[in-house]
Amino acid sequence: MKKYATFAFISFTILSLLSWGYKGHRAIALIAQNHLTPKAKTAIADLLNGESIEDASTWADELRSDPTYRNTSSWHFLNLPSGLTYKAFTTNIESQKGDNLYVALNRSIHVLSHDTNPIETRREALKFIIHLVGDAHQPMHVAGAADKGGNTVQVRFDNKGTNLHTLWDSRLIDHEGLSDVEMSIDYDKATTEQIKQWQSDIIMKWLWESYQASSKIYATTSTGDKLGDDYYKTNIRIIQGRVQKAGIRLAGLLNELLKDYKPTTVSNPYPPNVVSADGTYAETAGIKHIKTKDVGRFIGSDVIVVDTVYSVKDMGSFVLVNLGAEYPNQIATVVLRGDARTYMNSIQGKPVSFIGRVVEYKGKPQIEVRSLNAMYFPGLRD
């Protein structure tokens, strides 16, 4: 037991020292989720096989202790000399030999964009993209080689010893005191014009912004500095901006890469849906495929609804699942009976397909689901 506890502690310590930390990467993924198209959401759910985008966001750091992936350690950063112009910066990156953040991100994009690649290979590429877009926006991941991206610059923050890299990965974020969900809400404030501009920027621009930020950090922070609330107040805005841009740009990239995605899920026994003439629903094997907001129009009918589960409550003999919003503001409720209750602990916050009969209960529509065969996770084919 002691050996496993030690391994868990070492793994946690390694993870805590890496890019953006746990909360930062998850916040980026959650912001991206807010800006994904329905097509991209369906593709991501299919590719990740039910794993959430925020859970996938830290995978590339977690596997770095796995010998199989030891070669990926250089994928998370770029080492550069100081004082470069944009032209010299671009030339330096494009002339670097071996793997680095720029090479790994572009290679992962290439792998994901080709639907002839095996599903496992594309899934791995997607996970790297989710993570590496975050790394590209962390200033100390596009920084100096001599100090290993600030890892050897020892400082004190809040009266505790740390290094410049860790300070920007997680310590400033931890000082703010927000959870990853709260960060994704508070940081995601971009205007329509900003979103359009940021998503049109090329990857080299993302990296250049991080390099400019790290250059300012080096200019204002030195080994032995004692840093406190003033430093936090000055620099937390930079972190907020970089996390926000990373999430929005990640969404834009995935929306583009997955716009023509062909689902690979093979567990769905039904043929492809046929869209109705007015576009309000599709039909699969004689069962209407409808939107959650339209459930009330189909009382007494068998339907298919694909939506994210907002909340789940075990009532004993059955389980209530809220769609569209959390209780009491849900748009529709799914009632799981019989063996359908088996999945109740694994569907919170996930996209799920339900097939069942719409009934009315106290003036609100409910979808009665009685069998596991009437649930598909992460979702039906489009």
Same domain flag for 176 and 242: yes
Q: What are phi and psi of 77, to 5 degrees?
A: -155, 170
Q: Are residues 213 and 278 in the same domain?
A: no
Q: Which residue in this structure is represented by tokens 């009685």?
A: 370
Are 219 and 294 part of one and the same domain?
no
Does one domain contain both 228 and 358? no
In a shared domain, residues 80 and 214: yes
Minimal CA–CA distance to 381: which of 284, 263, 276? 263
pLDDT score for 2: 39
Mark the ranges of the chain whose per-residue pLDDT is less than 50: 1-18, 265-283, 378-382
Whether residue 381 is contained in a domain is answered as no
Per the domain annotation, does 110 fall within a domain?
Answer: yes
CATH of the domain at 42: 1.10.575.10
Name the domain boundary from 227, 257, 287. 257
CA distance 330 to 315: 17
283 with 212, same domain: the answer is no
Residue 370, in any domain of the structure: yes
**292-350 pLDDT tens trace:** 888 988 888 888 888 888 888 888 777 889 988 878 888 889 988 776 666 666 677 77
Query: Does 268 fall in a domain?
Result: no
Residues 317, 191 share a domain: no
- Domain final residue, candidates 224, 257, 290: 257
Q: How many domains does the chain have?
A: 2
Range of the domain at 326: 274-376
Are 339 and 233 members of one domain?
no
Q: Are residues 219 and 350 located together in one domain of the fold?
A: no
**Is residue 234 a part of any domain in this protein?**
yes
Place of tokens 């750091």: 61
Quick one: pLDDT at residue 312? Answer: 87
Residue showing tokens 């869209």: 275
> Are the beta carbons of 318 and 312 closer than 8 angstroms?
no
Looking up residue 331, the CATH number of its domain turns out to be 2.40.50.140
| Nearest Cα residue to 47 out of 347, 259, 262 | 262
Q: Among 257, 288, 316, which residue terminates a domain?
A: 257
- Total residue length of the chain: 382
Same domain membership, residue 152 and residue 102: yes
- Please check whether residue 259 is in contact with residue 39, taking contact to mean a CB–CB distance below 8 angstroms: yes
pLDDT digits (tens, 9 = 90+) for 238-271: 999 999 999 999 999 999 999 999 876 433 333 3
> How far apart are alpha carbons 29 and 360 in whole angstroms?
37
Structural domain contains residue 65: yes
Instruction: Assess whether 291 and 142 both reside in one domain.
Output: no
Are residues 278 and 250 both part of a single domain? no
Question: Is residue 207 included in any domain, yes or no?
Answer: yes
Alpha-carbon torsion angle 11, 12, 17, 23, nearest 10:
130
Is there a domain that residue 162 lies in?
A: yes
Query: What pLDDT, on a 0 to 100 scale, did the predictor assign at position 163?
Result: 94
